[in-house]
Amino acid sequence: MKNIQRFIRYAQIDTQADENSSTIPSTEKQKNLSSLLVNELKELGLSDAFMDEYGVVYGHLPGEGDKIGFNSHVDTALEVTGTNCQPKIIEKYDGKDIKLNEKYVLSAKQFPNLLKCVGKDLVVTNGESLLGADDKAGIAIIMSALEYFHKNPSEKHKNISVAFTPDEEIGLGSAHFDLNKMNADYAFTIDGSSIDCIDYENFNAASAKIFIRGVAVHPGEGKNTLINAILILNELISALPAKETPYDAKEDEGYWHINNLNGTSESAQLDMILRDFDELKLQQRILLINEIAGNLKKKYPKISVDVEIKRQYENMKPYVEKDPRPVQLAKKSLLKNGIAPRSTKIRGGTDGAAFSKMGLVTPNLGTGSYNHHGRYEYIVIQEFEKMVDVVIDMMRL
Ligand SMILES: [Zn+2]
């Protein structure tokens, strides 16, 4: 139980990020865990461990052969508080409801995945906070693997690089990541769920903001004059392909999604995100938005329609395909530990996608934890422990 106790120790440190903050990292409290990790890395023989001015922790354990990197993020999600997290261990889960507290029950009826771990041991929340297994389970896995080599100095290992980043949950995990400080040939984020997954396909992503300025006059005198910006937005939305929303999109399909809409009859703004695994299809989505906006301008010459497109992240698949080493290594280590590897498509982005674009190919691996971002989050201890063994094998020479 020693490795899971390490996780529980980390989980009790509140490291929730704050999307409304302008400081780096977004919350000072993330550094409480980060500086603890610097000390522990030093104790484990990564004598150069340090935290830089952006709150990113780096450390290196010299060995032989490939320079292999590992990354997990210290911050936790925003949906549920991370304050006063008190993880509970459920031994030999019997498949029945787990009463987290008076109000919340973790039930296999609601989360059928739980039935796969009957007989295994779980870590759950007390219903008051999230668990933060996303991504402190990843941190604990990396630290436990490093501890193995510290305790077994005769075992040969690769050159190991470690980075623990803040603010992943607010999209800034890669913002201040420094490839030189990391110094690795390839790397892994350990930030997923099921431990049989080696994931290296994620969305191509863009955001679009559309600004409409209509023609405002007194509605009583609006005949042939008043052009309502809200109705123009309505027209724009109606021109979008109806069946390509998150509600309709299947596992390998992208979507458009409106996440904010506000305005008056005089001016209105719409914020949306565009997602697709296929870069060409994402480009087509961007073209379509511009085309619809252009048509509206033609139809209503007196209004203004401005479109602002921003690229957010890219599918890492093309980068990973150019350097098959990390995926091959992960596959080999999983198979050695009796796990049949598979790859799933990440319907979002990962820091590894950003690192891959920067030049460090970084697929994502699992942690054995599920239901991230909420009070129903849990770890399957046997999966978590198995992943420690997998990472040890990956680090091994
Ligand atoms: Zn995460």
pLDDT reported for residue 303: 97
24 and 144 housed in the same domain = yes
pLDDT reported for residue 9: 98
By the 8 A CB rule, do 388 and 138 touch?
no
302 and 337 housed in the same domain = no
**Rounded Cα gap, residues 387 and 72, in angstroms:** 14
pLDDT reported for residue 49: 98
pLDDT reported for residue 35: 98
* pLDDT tens by residue, 118-138: 999 999 999 999 999 999 999
* Whether residue 172 has pLDDT greater than 80: yes
6 and 98 housed in the same domain = yes
pLDDT reported for residue 269: 97
27 and 127 housed in the same domain = yes
* pLDDT tens by residue, 7-66: 999 999 999 999 899 999 999 999 999 999 999 999 999 999 999 999 999 999 999 999
In the sheet with 304-313, reading across from the earlier edge strand, the strands are 255-263, 267-276, 204-213, 304-313
276 and 367 housed in the same domain = no
What is the CATH classification number for the domain harbouring 288? 3.30.70.360
Domain that holds residue 323: 2-201+315-395
Query: Based on the number of CB atoms within 10 Å of its own CB, is 347 exposed (0-12), middle (13-18) or buried (19 or more)?
Result: middle
Share of the chain above pLDDT 70, in %: 100
Cα of 362 vs centre of ligand 1, distance in Å, is 14
* Whether residue 1 has pLDDT greater than 80: no
In the structure, what pLDDT confidence band is assigned to residue 363 with cuts at 50, 70 and 90?
Answer: very high
* pLDDT tens by residue, 276-300: 999 999 999 999 999 999 999 999 9
pLDDT reported for residue 22: 94
pLDDT reported for residue 349: 87
67 and 6 housed in the same domain = yes
Bridge partners of 154? none
140 and 252 housed in the same domain = no
By the 8 A CB rule, do 158 and 63 touch?
yes
Share of the chain above pLDDT 90, in %: 97
Residue 287: other Cβ atoms inside 10 A: 10
Tokens of 319: 């980068």
Q: How many domains does the chain have?
A: 2
DSSP 247: T
**Rounded Cα gap, residues 314 and 276, in angstroms:** 9
Cα of 168 vs centre of ligand 1, distance in Å, is 7
By the 8 A CB rule, do 333 and 141 touch?
no
Enzyme catalytic residues: 75, 168
Residue 325: phi, psi to the nearest 5? -55, -50
Instruction: Give the residue-averaged pLDDT of 187-215.
Output: 97
Of 282, 312, 342, the residue at which a domain comes to its end is 312
294 and 335 housed in the same domain = no
Cα of 72 vs centre of ligand 1, distance in Å, is 8
**Rounded Cα gap, residues 279 and 174, in angstroms:** 21
Cα of 246 vs centre of ligand 1, distance in Å, is 21
Average pLDDT, the chain: 96
**Rounded Cα gap, residues 254 and 278, in angstroms:** 8
Per-chain residues with Cβ under 5 A from ion ligand 1: 134-135, 191
pLDDT reported for residue 380: 98
Cα of 188 vs centre of ligand 1, distance in Å, is 13
**Pick from 118, 123, 128: nearest CA to 80:** 128
